[in-house]
A and B are shown apart, each in its own frame.
Chain A
Amino acid sequence: MALAGVAGCKAEPPEKIVPYVRPPEEILPGIPLYFATAMPFSGYAVGLIVESHEGRPIKVEGNPDHPASLGATDVFAQASLLTLYDPERAQTVTQSGQISTWDGFITELRPKLDHFRVDGAGLRILTETVTSPTFADLMKQLL
């Protein structure tokens, strides 16, 4: 029977449909949302539009309204999508290699902040090269 391909003919096992508990605004299942965003490249922001299905970005294209690219993208922007699904990407807060929480991070950090603010010593923020004024401002606010 299996050799004749008959084994594959039974209908598939039942699937689940898992709706939202509270629907997020603007998301309509089956219809993608497009977000205008930017990605730093060689120190400058490249305007992009990202197609997102039910909260999952699946495609990067250039933003036609961006004066530098006029809607074009390069391989780096196209491939940047893969970094979102990189299994090596940090998915949670860790402390000394153990999984922790953001609340834990803040309770740990807060008493030491005054000390850090004196001369910045003892605090390290590891980033790629930052050219974003917003991000630079956020770091300044912390110190």
Chain B
Amino acid sequence: MPQIFHRSTNALSRFTIFGSLAVIVAVTLAWGGIIRAPYVTDQNVVRDQPVPFSHEHHVAGLGIDCRYCHTSVEKSSFAGIPPTQVCMNCHKQVWADSPTLEPVRASLRDNRPIEWTRVNKVADFVYFDHSIHVHKGVGCETCHGRVDRMPLMWKAESLRMEWCLNCHRSPENYLRPREEVFTMGWQPPIPQRELGLQLMRSYRVDPPQKLTNCSICHR
């Protein structure tokens, strides 16, 4: 009985088997890349704002503390966006005639809030509280990046769940003394791991087994 398939179909079948495997691998890798890309996460994407407020100028240039504007960061889940009045504390004297600041003056004059575009957002099903992170020694910089080098604001980290877990699994790699939470560009004086483990003890940071419990964030 003659062969039904010619010898050359061997190559074809090999190509189909290994080819389809390669396609599955490629699609998986591409998918992993896409969901982590700035296109999806908005990481490093500068947002347009009604007033081109520069953190670089106010933080690095003038040395204003984070808490002057983000007043509730130590007490509340929400760090707080400054009321127009806080801007005007200085800007009724400084740059009082600047056309760039007209929306701020108009806001106070007409009693209409400035509508800022949100830059950092976690989904509503995530329970996130700024105050606990600040009190346990997570620096602003750790999540928000070098804000003192951002002329306009962008999201420094992806804020994906795997990114949160990165720290919840091993907080010792990220913690700093409470006094340094609001410092930009802080460097650990002793190896970070060593310092982190000390801080975890003295600040009574829960162990990773507890910090990675689903209900810690999804309440």
Contacts and interface: CB of A to CB of B under 8 A. Distances in A.
Interface of A: 9-12, 14-23, 28-31
B118 A19 contact: no
A19 B111 CA distance: 11
Interface of B is mostly: loop
Contacts of B179: none
Contacts, number: 73
Contacts of A20: 83-85, 113
Given A29-B72, A31-B75, A21 B85 contact: yes
A28 B117 contact: no
Contacts of B217: none
Contacts of A18: 113-116
B113 to A, nearest CB: 5
Contact of B112 (A10, A11, A21, A31): A21
B28 interface: no
Interface string B16-60: 000000000000000000110001111000010000000000000
A11 B118 CA distance: 13
Contacts of A9: 34-35, 40
Given A9-B40, A29-B78, A30-B77, A14 B117 contact: yes
Interface in B98-149: 107-108, 111-118, 121
A15 B122 CA distance: 12
A18 B47 CA distance: 16
